[in-house]
C-alpha cells in the first residue's frame, strides 16, 4: 500500500457520518477499510531496536455528567488518610488500586458547579478549583495552604468551600499550587497567598514573622497589576501587565533567576551549606513576559 492510499482511507473514515445507521454492505465496507488501515499502520510501525522500550498509550472513555466535570487520577494517599480505614476500603471499592486511582474518577461533589480554573502543582498534595459559586480546595493542609483559616494534617478529601478567598468586588481568575503554599490571582491584578512561609515563598518578606505559615490568604505586596502567576516547590513567580518578571522564595538551584543560587556556609560549620529565603525580586529581562511556569526546582517564562 502507498502513502496516497493511506490518506484516502483516512479521509473515508473521517468523512463517515458518526450517527448514521450502516447497512450490511456499508458495515462490511467499513470493516474492510478499518482492517486495511490497521494493516497500513502495522506496516508503518518502525522495527523495535534491541535494548529499547516502545512507548505505550491508550484512550480511556469517561462519561461525564456535564461539560466541566473534574476528573482525578494518580496518587490519592492524602485523601485516603483523611478518610480513615473505612474510607480507604470504600476508595478501593470505587476503583483505586491501593492508594492510586489508575483510571480517571469524577469528583462528584463538583458536578453541579461551573468550574473555570483548576490547579495542582508539580509537588503539591492539594488542589484548588475556581467555580462560579466560589473557590473550593481539598487535600493536604498541614501548613494552611487551603486558606480555610485553620491548618491540620488533612481536611475532608472532597472539595471544601474556601470562603476566605472571596474578595468583595474582585474575582479570582487563576491559581498556582506549590508544594505547601497557594497563590490566587484576581481580576484586579492582586495576588493573595497562604500556606508555608519558612522559605519566603508567600512573598510576605524574608525575615522574622514574615516567614510564618499563613492559614488565611494574605496580600502579596506588588504594586503593579499582575497578569500571570506560577508556584514551584518552595518558590513563586509572576509577571505584571507590563511584562516585568518577579520571583521570590527559596534560592536553591538558581531557580529564582537572580543570578545566584544564594548558597552560603552556615555559622556553625565551614562545610555545611544552606540557601537564602529571598524577598520579591524584579528580574531584568529583555522582552515582555506573557507567561510564567514553575517546575519543582526550575522555572521558565515566555516572552512576546
Distance (Å, whole) CA 155 – CA 132: 23
Confidence band of 220 (pLDDT split at 50, 70, 90) = very high
Mean pLDDT of 66-86: 69
Highest mean pLDDT out of 58-67, 81-90, 134-143: 134-143
70 or 218: which leads in pLDDT: 218
Mean pLDDT for the stretch of residues 258-275:
75
Is pLDDT of 135 > 70? yes
CA distance 299 to 304: 17
DSSP code, position 99:
T
pLDDT at 13 over 50: no
* Residue 78 or 234, more confident: 234
Contact 280, 221 (CB under 8 A): yes
- Per-residue pLDDT of 146-161, as tens digits, reads 999 988 765 556 788 9
Measure CA 249 to chain center.
Answer: 19
Tell me what pLDDT residue 181 has.
97
Q: Which cell numbers hold the place of 230?
A: 506560577
Region 182-211: what's the mean pLDDT? 97
Give ∠ CA 266-268-269 in degrees, rounded to 5. Answer: 70
> In the prediction, which pLDDT does 12 show?
32
Share of the chain above pLDDT 90, in %: 49
Assess whether pLDDT exceeds 50 at residue 4: no
* Of 51-60, 69-78, 115-124, the least confident: 51-60
Average pLDDT, the chain: 78
Task: Find the Cα–Cα–Cα–Cα dihedral 250, 251, 257, 258, rounded to 10°.
Answer: 120
User: Is this structure's pTM higher than 0.85?
Assistant: no
CA angle 20, 24, 25 (to 5 degrees): 100
Question: CA angle at residue 151 from 69 to 209, to 5 degrees?
Answer: 125
The model's confidence at residue 121, banded by pLDDT at 50, 70 and 90, is confident
Number of helices and strands (H, E) in the chain? 3, 19
DSSP β-ladder status, 299-303 and 273-274: unpaired
- Least confident stretch, 23-37, 125-139, 161-175, 284-298: 23-37
Residue 28 has pLDDT above 80, yes or no: no
For 184-210, what is the mean pLDDT? 97
Give the residues across from 219 on adjacent strands.
192
Above 60 in pLDDT, residue 290?
yes
Measured CA to CA, the distance from residue 216 to residue 167 in angstroms comes to 13
- What are the helix (H) ranges across the chain? 3-14, 24-44, 77-93
| pLDDT average, residue stretch 227-238 | 98
- 53-68 burial, b at 16+ Cβ within 10 Å, e below that, comes to eeeeeeeeeeeeeeeb
CA distances 166 to 73, 220, 224, 259, Å, are 28, 16, 21, 37
CA distance 110 to 131: 9
Please give the pLDDT value at position 270.
59
Amino acid at each position: 500500500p502507498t502513502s496516497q492510499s493511506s490518506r484516502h482511507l483516512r479521509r473515508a473514515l473521517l468523512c463517515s457520518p458518526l450517527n448514521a445507521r450502516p447497512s450490511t454492505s456499508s458495515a462490511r465496507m467499513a470493516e474492510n477499510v478499518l482492517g486495511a488501515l490497521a494493516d497500513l499502520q502495522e506496516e508503518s510501525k518502525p522495527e523495535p531496536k534491541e535494548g529499547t522500550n516502545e512507548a505505550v498509550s491508550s484512550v480511556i472513555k469517561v462519561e461525564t455528567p456535564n461539560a466541566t466535570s473534574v476528573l482525578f487520577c494518580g496518587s490519592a494517599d492524602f485523601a485516603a488518610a483523611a478518610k480513615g480505614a473505612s474510607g480507604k476500603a470504600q476508595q478501593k471499592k470505587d476503583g483505586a488500586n491501593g492508594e492510586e486511582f489508575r483510571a480517571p474518577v469524577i469528583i462528584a461533589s463538583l458536578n453541579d458547579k461551573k468550574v473555570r480554573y483548576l490547579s495542582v502543582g508539580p509537588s503539591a498534595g492539594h488542589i484548588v478549583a475556581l467555580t462560579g459559586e466560589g473557590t473550593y480546595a481539598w487535600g493536604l493542609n498541614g501548613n494552611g495552604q487551603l486558606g480555610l483559616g485553620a491548618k491540620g494534617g488533612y481536611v475532608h478529601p472532597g472539595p471544601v468551600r474556601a470562603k476566605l478567598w472571596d474578595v468583595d468586588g474582585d474575582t479570582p481568575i487563576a491559581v498556582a499550587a506549590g508544594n505547601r503554599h497557594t497563590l490566587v490571582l484576581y481580576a484586579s491584578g492582586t495576588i493573595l497567598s497562604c500556606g508555608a512561609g519558612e522559605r519566603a515563598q508567600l512573598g510576605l518578606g524574608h525575615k522574622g514573622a514574615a516567614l510564618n505559615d499563613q492559614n488565611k490568604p494574605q496580600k502579596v505586596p506588588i504594586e503593579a497589576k499582575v497578569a500571570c502567576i506560577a508556584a514551584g516547590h518552595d518558590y513563586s513567580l509572576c509577571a505584571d501587565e507590563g511584562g516585568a518578571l518577579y520571583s521570590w522564595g527559596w534560592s536553591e538551584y538558581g531557580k529564582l533567576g537572580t543570578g545566584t543560587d544564594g548558597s552560603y556556609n552556615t555559622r556553625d560549620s565551614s562545610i555545611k551549606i544552606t540557601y537564602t529565603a529571598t524577598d520579591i525580586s524584579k528580574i531584568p529581562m529583555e522582552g515582555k513576559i506573557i507567561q510564567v511556569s514553575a517546575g519543582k526546582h526550575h522555572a521558565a517564562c515566555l516572552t512576546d
